[in-house]
């Protein structure tokens, strides 16, 4: 599974890069707003930090305007992935942009039928929102399972990008269910490495080592 970090915070991205865990970045208008910086400036800086895809979202609602915005965003850097809403206009824009060699991420997916349409339109990524489905008492992982079966049935190349992930369990379940990518907040990604038994074992090893009075260097 690939990990994308869901943030527009440059410092957070830089802190995670040395781990080798960051395969890409996803942003949205809300995350850009939190950064308090110019949209295009932030996207350009993030794109310069890594080679993987960086999702930048259009704000238009009409297909022709989405296409224009998407082309403009794609001009920022080669690794920009244009984020489009899962509407009919968004699908039209997806088809047009993908046809021009621009990577696309169709977002706000809440049904398998929507995911099927996005794959037909040539989306690079489909973003089902797990957490928001859980919020209304629908198991978001069921949606991932359905999409996985449909895509495998027809050998669609669109990658399933599990989004709206809020916990370590979400990440584990998405991986078990066959999502290609998980986009996670920095706190969730860092938290995947934590386990109380790891901490306990490490403390015991270091306590015993200290008793030897030795140093490695």
The torsion angles phi and psi of 36, rounded to 5 degrees, stand at: 70, 15
Choice among 83, 120, 200, 211 that is catalytic = 83
Report yes or no: 97 and 124 within 8 Å, Cβ to Cβ: no
Residue 187 CB burial class (10 angstroms; 0-12, 13-18, ≥19): exposed
Which tokens belong to 47?
Answer: 């794109």
How far is it, in rounded angstroms, from Cα 186 to Cα 29? 17
CB 114 within 8 A of CB 123: no
Beta bridge partners of 2: 181
Is 83 in the active site?
A: yes
Q: Kindly state the tokens that stand for 65.
A: 């305007």
Grouping H, G, I as helix, E, B as strand and the rest as coil, residue 149 is helix
By annotation, the residues acting in catalysis are 83
């Amino acid at each position: 599974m690939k990990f994308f970090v869901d943030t527009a915070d440059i410092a957070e991205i830089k802190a995670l890069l040395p781990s080798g865990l960051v395969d890409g970045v996803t942003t949205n208008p809300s995350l850009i707003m939190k950064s308090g910086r110019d949209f295009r400036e932030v996207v350009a800086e993030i794109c310069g930090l890594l080679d993987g895809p960086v999702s930048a979202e259009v704000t238009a609602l009409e297909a022709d305007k989405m296409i224009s915005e998407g082309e403009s965003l794609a001009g920022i850097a080669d690794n920009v992935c244009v984020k489009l809403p899962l509407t009919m206009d968004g699908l039209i824009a997806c088809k047009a942009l993908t046809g021009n060699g621009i990577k696309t991420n169709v977002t706000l997916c809440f049904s398998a039928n929507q995911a099927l349409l996005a794959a037909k339109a040539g989306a690079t990524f489909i973003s089902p929102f797990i957490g928001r489905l859980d919020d209304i008492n629908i198991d978001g992982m069921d949606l991932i399972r359905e999409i996985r079966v449909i895509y495998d049935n027809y050998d669609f190349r669109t990658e399933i990008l599990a989004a709206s992930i809020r916990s370590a369990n979400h990440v584990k379940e998405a991986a078990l269910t066959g999502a290609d990518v998980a986009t996670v907040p920095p706190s969730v990604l860092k938290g995947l490495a934590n386990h109380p038994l790891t901490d306990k074992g490490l403390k015991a090893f270091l306590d015993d080592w200290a008793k030897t009075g030795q140093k490695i260097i």
